[in-house]
Amino acid sequence: MGGLLGVAVLGAGHMGADHIRRLDRVTGGARVAAVADPDLARAEAAVAGIDGASSHAEVAAALDAPGVEAVLIASPGPAHEAALHEAFARGLPVLCEKPLVPDAEGALRVVEAEVRFGRRLVQVGFMRRYDAEYLRLKSLLDEGALGRPLMLHCVHRNVSSPPGFTSAMLVDSSVSHEIDAARWLLGQEPVAVSVLRPGSTGRAPEGLLDPQFVLLETDGGVLVDVEIFVNTGFGYQVRCEAVCEGGSARIGEEHGMTVTAPGRESREVPQDYLVRFADAYDRELRAWVEACRAGRVTGPSAWDGYASSATAEAGVRAQRTGTRTPVDLAPRPALYA
Amino acid sequence: MGGLLGVAVLGAGHMGADHIRRLDRVTGGARVAAVADPDLARAEAAVAGIDGASSHAEVAAALDAPGVEAVLIASPGPAHEAALHEAFARGLPVLCEKPLVPDAEGALRVVEAEVRFGRRLVQVGFMRRYDAEYLRLKSLLDEGALGRPLMLHCVHRNVSSPPGFTSAMLVDSSVSHEIDAARWLLGQEPVAVSVLRPGSTGRAPEGLLDPQFVLLETDGGVLVDVEIFVNTGFGYQVRCEAVCEGGSARIGEEHGMTVTAPGRESREVPQDYLVRFADAYDRELRAWVEACRAGRVTGPSAWDGYASSATAEAGVRAQRTGTRTPVDLAPRPALYA
Amino acid sequence: MGGLLGVAVLGAGHMGADHIRRLDRVTGGARVAAVADPDLARAEAAVAGIDGASSHAEVAAALDAPGVEAVLIASPGPAHEAALHEAFARGLPVLCEKPLVPDAEGALRVVEAEVRFGRRLVQVGFMRRYDAEYLRLKSLLDEGALGRPLMLHCVHRNVSSPPGFTSAMLVDSSVSHEIDAARWLLGQEPVAVSVLRPGSTGRAPEGLLDPQFVLLETDGGVLVDVEIFVNTGFGYQVRCEAVCEGGSARIGEEHGMTVTAPGRESREVPQDYLVRFADAYDRELRAWVEACRAGRVTGPSAWDGYASSATAEAGVRAQRTGTRTPVDLAPRPALYA
Amino acid sequence: MGGLLGVAVLGAGHMGADHIRRLDRVTGGARVAAVADPDLARAEAAVAGIDGASSHAEVAAALDAPGVEAVLIASPGPAHEAALHEAFARGLPVLCEKPLVPDAEGALRVVEAEVRFGRRLVQVGFMRRYDAEYLRLKSLLDEGALGRPLMLHCVHRNVSSPPGFTSAMLVDSSVSHEIDAARWLLGQEPVAVSVLRPGSTGRAPEGLLDPQFVLLETDGGVLVDVEIFVNTGFGYQVRCEAVCEGGSARIGEEHGMTVTAPGRESREVPQDYLVRFADAYDRELRAWVEACRAGRVTGPSAWDGYASSATAEAGVRAQRTGTRTPVDLAPRPALYA
């Protein structure tokens, strides 16, 4: 029991509350030790009924609360950088929801701080790396049975976009998942990005360019194309096909129960990423807890967070200018070799 | 052009008209030379617009019409036996729609007559043997890659039964397709049959026991189970899974276009056997015409027609008595070895 | 933390060790407080590295160990009845792996003891009720959108049978899962059972009749057919299709990644039930822990364990005699209404 | 019988021989009246055994042979233009294999000649328009149930490229099928084309850039992306997904028999377009024969042939320059309104 990892959760909104529930009821090996939210009432509500969990308005107070051994950052993106530096100051391991930091410059400062600290503290919340299908695809590519990858065809669809969603966010918030997944699956870095814009759907709010079509080129010569379509109205779908020299593999097709009703056979399409990736979130958190208890840090690194932000920024420029835009990454520190 | 096979079609109802259309417009190598139907007006309508085709009320007149070289029997089952003997008397090759003859005794008389004639004249219209998926399954089983077959699981569903359809007809009309398919796929003869009756659907007409579940045992130890359900309301489905010592293979799943609409991915379910088996009917007729032109008779034989009728008769007894009923076939003549 | 449920695990074999791992590392809300195994060394090995967990050779000692609030029985079936009565004597809630008790008579004694105790203590480990696809099928049937169920077609295949597996065990160990699933999905009790035996596979050990085909009839007129085939050599497959008056629904088809290699598209077939039902085991245990902490007992009851055993016993008689065999259940106590 | 359409087939190579077989044995309503091939021996071999068919070395001689009522052009692309003008001079209806004429300029001369003739004579051999799945997709889009199309994702894969296949031919020979299919499905014309080149497969002959990724933009704002990959080594695959405002629909997935063997479930991938599109070729030819006999011309027009060539030419320029290239079509004559 002494081994239960005490976690401070920063942010008690939608995602934070979901992680609190997971730490408390789903995942073994950890407990919620503290919750911080600028809205103190929300923090208090989040810890109700959880033995030994304190609530706070300030990040620092939560990190200093008794029993805190690790930090889970689920606050809005702009609050991440300061929270990460606070965690580094205390040497606490961190699970940081994506984006690591919204802008590439800030993300690079985090990378540099972690390099100064001297060992990894950060796992970034790219949860697709913990999805059973993505894991299977990664391992198939690594085995090399299909030969060298040449193309990735990706589809990323939502039912509808949340209020305030902008055309840039299709690239820097949504496609950032594909950017990380492509980097991870291929073990390659992006060198250029282009964005095409077909006609927009009538379902999109006024002014939102939706769908868009993003093309990434990697330093290994792989072409990654991504349909991003956030107001489909019909479902949450994430697909990926890796086309290789000796075969192809695809993931993300609907499955589960098949129903035959008059005139058709059908399968359900999930409506929400929390449904589609529920197991990935569980597995991500469990992996983090296990690593923390063993004194290790694994999974997507601060460098991955930075590279994703830098590529997304180039994508937003490509979107604005309508031209192919190079991606210039800083040199990769040895810590992330 | 001299090579176009002149065909007399007996019966100008639903099935006969469909075959006339196929001979005239779809299949090469043959032409409609004569049509007979007791309802002469129907025969006349059927030949309208077809050069060189005569119409008749009597079978004999049609068979004796100029240019007739082969006979296609598409009249009601009770008329088959007399028509077959007429064709035999003239030495004409015959494509006879199933059932060869509705009762096993009459079917055996046809077998004996063909044996006396000394060579095969009859191809029975078990068109599943010409379906691309069944052919693929047959060839896979024959190759032996999956090892010895142990079970066949079959499903046979219709949208609704035609007027006058009886509980016995679920076995002797509908399941007769599975009886023939199982005999053909396995190269084995049935030795016993049992029929179970779950609760009947409210969609079935008063008094019709629908669905039923038929179990065939073969002389090779294979168990064949058949769901027959003729008032599903939802579609025409024919599936077959062969379970073997080293693997299984299944055919008959829905395919074609996949549509994603709000909340589901779906594929169309065909509503009609003429849709599902359209290609099989084309291929069956083409194979018959090619064989006739080459002076050969191939495909399902009169013996197959007899064995199917005899098994179906045992099935109807099993259905009535609720017990496992042996199937006793006559000795197989050398002509059908 | 005070709320962590202290669990005594009885049996530290394959299944017991898996549950210990789950309680310790996967599921939140519980901890391993004690482990009992007649082989004390095995019990000791099982608790190594788990804070606060004691090891015992005797069931009673484990149940009386400090902090024990609930019991998980994962010992061999013949040991279940005594362990259940020990747990009842202490008023402890129990998760009992299937079978509740191997023979129907013993299972009925457990039912009677729980009735005397006056409230439910037992959840039986029919984990399929916690599988996502089965849950979806259950909820679809309960919604009634497909109308009244008429048939269930079930397939249950293993790669190979463990040493000592007998022909009777195909029915009373393997098919018992389908017996419970059918009772649960339909809310109906079995009234008769028949067993057919196709030719056996050459892969089966000498003397084992494998595959077999089991037919259950329910008091609601539903026919349930089950292919049980435990030496397929090719995979672990559990499928179920519910055929209803207004449509059908099927679960258990392969999914996940599709790989295209020369000449074929393929999907992996799982080789093991612990892979196929991993999530169901997790969900089952989590549901039990949550219920225990809330002072409730839910899930499959001792009555379900008894009904399954009684049906399986009738199945074994049917297998031996080759005839349709009635299932006679004791009257159902009000506690399980 | 007088109604059998007499067809002159130009070209007796691979494709010509296949059409001769189809006219003679598969399709009703037509007969081979003459065959021309510069290699007279090949023409003679092609008509062997066909009653009433003459063989010729010269196109004009074949068109003037007795009984010729229509022309099927299956000679190499560079020979098409002259043959079309010969056919026009005689007022004969033509089925011309793609490309209509390899260069857009020559294709436009054919269009102008047909316009001068005053009515349509030409059907171009874009056989995908006769494939059952494409037809279903076309009709779904036309019904409007899925709303306005926004994107088409296309995949076009071959096992290996024939000798002499060049990088330009990936666009102007292979992708020309997608160009026509997109124009037909959408009822829109291309306005720009871009070509991206991922790393090439080691399976491609020296110097061949394979795969390539082609992006078409239409005057209706639809973005069409095409993976063209002609040396996959693994199969012939043609897929198309139409993404619309209200849903998506996709065609071209593998189907047919599912085989379960140790560790996997698989379906066959066709190796050849003549297998995948066999029915489409049959249906195309049947539609042309029926139209000719009825004095009509339907199907893909000379304009479609021209527009496809002009778009492909822009694509080859885009490929060479690496930039987005406009497609400038001549004004569309009223004949093709």
Three-class secondary structure assignment of chain B: CCCCEEEEEECCCHHHHHHHHHHHHHECCEEEEEEECCCHHHHHHHHCCCCCCEEECCHHHHHCCCCCCEEEECCCHHHHHHHHHHHHHHCCCEEECCCCCCCHHHHHHHHHHHHHHCCCCEEECCHHHHCHHHHHHHHHHHHCCCCCEEEEEEEEECCCCCCCCCHHHHHHHHCHHHHHHHHHHHCCCEEEEEEECCCCCCCCCCCCCCCEEEEEEECCCCEEEEEEECCCCCCCEEEEEEEECCEEEEECCCCCCEEEECCEEEEECCCCHHHHCHHHHHHHHHHHHHHHHCCCCCCCCHHHHHHHHHHHHHHHHHHHHCCCEECCCCCCCHHHC
Residues of chain B with Cβ-Cβ distance to D281 below 8 Å are none
Q: Is the pLDDT of residue D192 over 90?
A: yes
Pick D222's closest partner by Cβ from A151, A198, A202. Answer: A198
Residues of chain B with Cβ-Cβ distance to C222 below 8 Å are 198-199
Return the pLDDT at B2. 47
Residues D300 and D124 sit within 8 Å (Cβ to Cβ):
yes
Residues of chain A with Cβ-Cβ distance to B263 below 8 Å are 234-235, 268-269, 271
Contact check, Cβ <8 Å, C260/D271 = no
Return the pLDDT at C82. 98
Q: Which helix (H) or strand (E) holds C46?
A: helix C40-47
What are the tens digits of pLDDT across the range A249-272? 999 998 889 999 998 999 999 988
In chain B, % of residues over pLDDT 90:
92
Question: What angle, 0 to 180 degrees and rounded to 10, lies between the N-to-C axes of helices A302-321 and A104-117?
Answer: 160
Residues of chain D with Cβ-Cβ distance to A196 below 8 Å are 215, 217, 223
Return the pLDDT at B28. 79
Contact check, Cβ <8 Å, D234/C260 = yes
C-alpha B5/C-alpha A330 separation (Å) is 79
C-alpha D324/C-alpha B140 separation (Å) is 50
Pick A268's closest partner by Cβ from B237, B264, B271. Answer: B264
**Residues contacting D333, CB < 8 A, separation 6+:** D111, D112, D115, D303
Mapped onto helix, strand or coil, the DSSP state of residue C206 is coil
The answer as to CATH 3.90.180.10 being correct for domain A5-128+279-306 is: no
C-alpha B117/C-alpha D183 separation (Å) is 60
What's the gap between Cα A213 and its chain centre? Answer: 20
CA angle B26, B31, B33 (to 5 degrees): 140
Mapped onto helix, strand or coil, the DSSP state of residue C143 is helix
User: What parts of chain C have a pLDDT lower than 70?
Assistant: 1-3
ipTM reported for the complex, 2 dp:
0.93
pLDDT band at A134 (very low <50, low <70, confident <90, very high): very high
Which CATH class, in words, describes the domain spanning C5-128+280-306? alpha beta
C-alpha B97/C-alpha B76 separation (Å) is 9
Contact check, Cβ <8 Å, A260/C247 = yes
Mapped onto helix, strand or coil, the DSSP state of residue C34 is strand
What are the tens digits of pLDDT across the range C193-206? 999 999 999 999 99
Return the pLDDT at A1. 36
Return the pLDDT at B29. 84
Q: Is the pLDDT of residue B254 over 90?
A: no
Residues A69 and A295 sit within 8 Å (Cβ to Cβ):
no
Which CATH class, in words, describes the domain spanning D5-127+280-301? alpha beta
Which CATH fold topology does B5-128+280-302 show? Rossmann fold (3.40.50)
Which CATH fold topology does B132-272+307-336 show? Dihydrodipicolinate Reductase; domain 2 (3.30.360)
Contact check, Cβ <8 Å, D255/B259 = no
What's the gap between Cα A3 and its chain centre? Answer: 28
Taking a contact as any Cβ pair under 8 Å apart, which residues of chain C between 177 and 236 contact chain A? none
Mapped onto helix, strand or coil, the DSSP state of residue C258 is strand
Residues A89 and A81 sit within 8 Å (Cβ to Cβ):
no
Contact check, Cβ <8 Å, D256/B260 = no
Mean pLDDT across chain A: 95
Q: Is the pLDDT of residue B58 over 80?
A: yes
Q: How close does chain B come to C150, measured CA to CA in Å?
A: 6
Residue D139: count other Cβ atoms within 10 Å of its Cβ.
10
Q: Where are the beta strands (DSSP E) in chain C?
A: 5-10, 30-36, 54-56, 70-73, 94-96, 122-124, 149-157, 190-196, 212-218, 223-229, 237-244, 247-251, 258-261, 264-268, 325-326
Q: How close does chain C come to D254, measured CA to CA in Å?
A: 7
Q: How close does chain D come to B276, measured CA to CA in Å?
A: 13
Contact check, Cβ <8 Å, B196/C213 = no
Contact check, Cβ <8 Å, A150/D234 = no
Residues A143 and A116 sit within 8 Å (Cβ to Cβ):
no
Return the pLDDT at C1. 36
Which CATH class, in words, describes the domain spanning C132-272? alpha beta
Residue of C nearest to D266 (CA): C266
What are the tens digits of pLDDT across the range B203-216? 999 999 999 999 99
Question: Could you tell me the two tokens for A293?
Answer: 């208890």
Mean pLDDT within D276-282 = 91
Residues B293 and B34 sit within 8 Å (Cβ to Cβ):
no
What are the tens digits of pLDDT across the range D42-100? 999 999 989 899 999 999 999 999 999 999 999 999 999 999 999 999 999 999 999 99
Pick B51's closest partner by Cβ from D1, D52, D246. Answer: D1
Q: What phi, psi does B137 have (nearest 5°)?
A: -65, -45
C-alpha A312/C-alpha A327 separation (Å) is 9
Mean pLDDT within B270-293 = 91
pLDDT band at D29 (very low <50, low <70, confident <90, very high): confident
Taking a contact as any Cβ pair under 8 Å apart, which residues of chain D between 66 and 95 contact chain C? none
Return the pLDDT at C2. 46
C-alpha D323/C-alpha D327 separation (Å) is 13
What are the tens digits of pLDDT across the range C112-158? 999 999 999 999 999 999 999 999 999 999 999 999 999 999 999 99
Residues of chain D with Cβ-Cβ distance to B261 below 8 Å are 146, 246-247
Distances from the Cα of B178 to the Cα of A134, A337, B137, B173, B239, angstroms: 42, 63, 14, 10, 10
Residue D25: count other Cβ atoms within 10 Å of its Cβ.
15
Return the pLDDT at C219. 98
Touching chains, D (3+ CB pairs < 8 A): A, B, C
Contact check, Cβ <8 Å, B269/A263 = yes
Which CATH class, in words, describes the domain spanning D129-271+307-336? alpha beta
What are the tens digits of pLDDT across the range A44-54? 999 998 989 99
Q: To probe the interface with D, which of C229, C260, C268, C276 has the most D CB atoms within 10 Å?
A: C260
Query: Any CB–CB contact under 8 A between C150 and chain B?
Result: yes
Residue of D nearest to A199 (CA): D221
Contact check, Cβ <8 Å, A265/B263 = no
Residues of chain D with Cβ-Cβ distance to C233 below 8 Å are 262
Return the pLDDT at C192. 98
Burial of D49 (0-12, 13-18, 19+ CB in 10 A): exposed
Domain ranges of chain A: 5-128+279-306, 131-271
Taking a contact as any Cβ pair under 8 Å apart, which residues of chain D between 33 and 62 contact chain B? 51-52
What are the tens digits of pLDDT across the range B180-232? 999 999 999 999 999 999 999 999 999 999 999 999 999 999 999 999 999 99
What residues pair up with A225 in beta bridges, in sequence order?
A153, A215
Residue of D nearest to C255 (CA): D265
A/B interface, count of CB pairs below 8 Å:
47
Query: Any CB–CB contact under 8 A between A261 and chain C?
Result: yes
Return the pLDDT at A2. 47
Q: To probe the interface with B, which of D32, D257, D266, D283 has the most B CB atoms within 10 Å?
A: D257
Taking a contact as any Cβ pair under 8 Å apart, which residues of chain B between 267 and 286 contact chain A? 267-269, 271
CATH match for A131-271 among 1.10.10.60, 3.40.190.10, 2.170.190.11, 3.30.360.10: 3.30.360.10
Touching chains, C (3+ CB pairs < 8 A): A, B, D
**Residues contacting B37, CB < 8 A, separation 6+:** B10, B11, B12, B13, B16, B43, B46, B55, B56, B57, B75
Contact check, Cβ <8 Å, C1/A31 = yes
pLDDT band at D25 (very low <50, low <70, confident <90, very high): confident
Q: How close does chain D come to A199, measured CA to CA in Å?
A: 5
What are the tens digits of pLDDT across the range B166-183? 999 999 999 999 999 999
Residues of chain A with Cβ-Cβ distance to B265 below 8 Å are 254, 266-267, 269
Residues of chain C with Cβ-Cβ distance to B153 below 8 Å are 153, 155, 227
Q: Is the pLDDT of residue A70 over 90?
A: yes
Q: Is the pLDDT of residue B255 over 90?
A: no
Q: Is the pLDDT of residue B27 over 90?
A: no
Question: Could you tell me the two tokens for D138?
Answer: 């076309």
The answer to whether the peptide bond before residue A99 is cis (omega within 30 degrees of 0) is yes
Mean pLDDT across chain B: 95
**Which of A82, A119, A118 lies closest to A100 in space, CA to CA?**
A82
Contact check, Cβ <8 Å, A265/B267 = yes
Q: Is the pLDDT of residue D254 over 90?
A: no
Mean pLDDT within B22-43 = 92
C-alpha C213/C-alpha C229 separation (Å) is 9
In the block, residue with structure tokens 């639903």: B14
Distances from the Cα of A266 to the Cα of A116, A256, B265, C253, C330, angstroms: 54, 10, 5, 13, 41
**Residues contacting D48, CB < 8 A, separation 6+:** none
Contact check, Cβ <8 Å, A150/D203 = no
Return the pLDDT at D314. 97
Residue of C nearest to D262 (CA): C234
Query: Any CB–CB contact under 8 A between A252 and chain D?
Result: no
Touching chains, A (3+ CB pairs < 8 A): B, C, D
Q: How many CA atoms lie within 13 Å of B316's alpha carbon, on the beta-carbon side?
A: 18
A/C interface, count of CB pairs below 8 Å:
99
What are the tens digits of pLDDT across the range B72-87? 999 999 999 999 999 9
The answer to whether the peptide bond before residue C99 is cis (omega within 30 degrees of 0) is yes
Contact check, Cβ <8 Å, A148/D245 = no
Q: Is the pLDDT of residue A131 over 90?
A: yes
Residue of B nearest to A237 (CA): B260
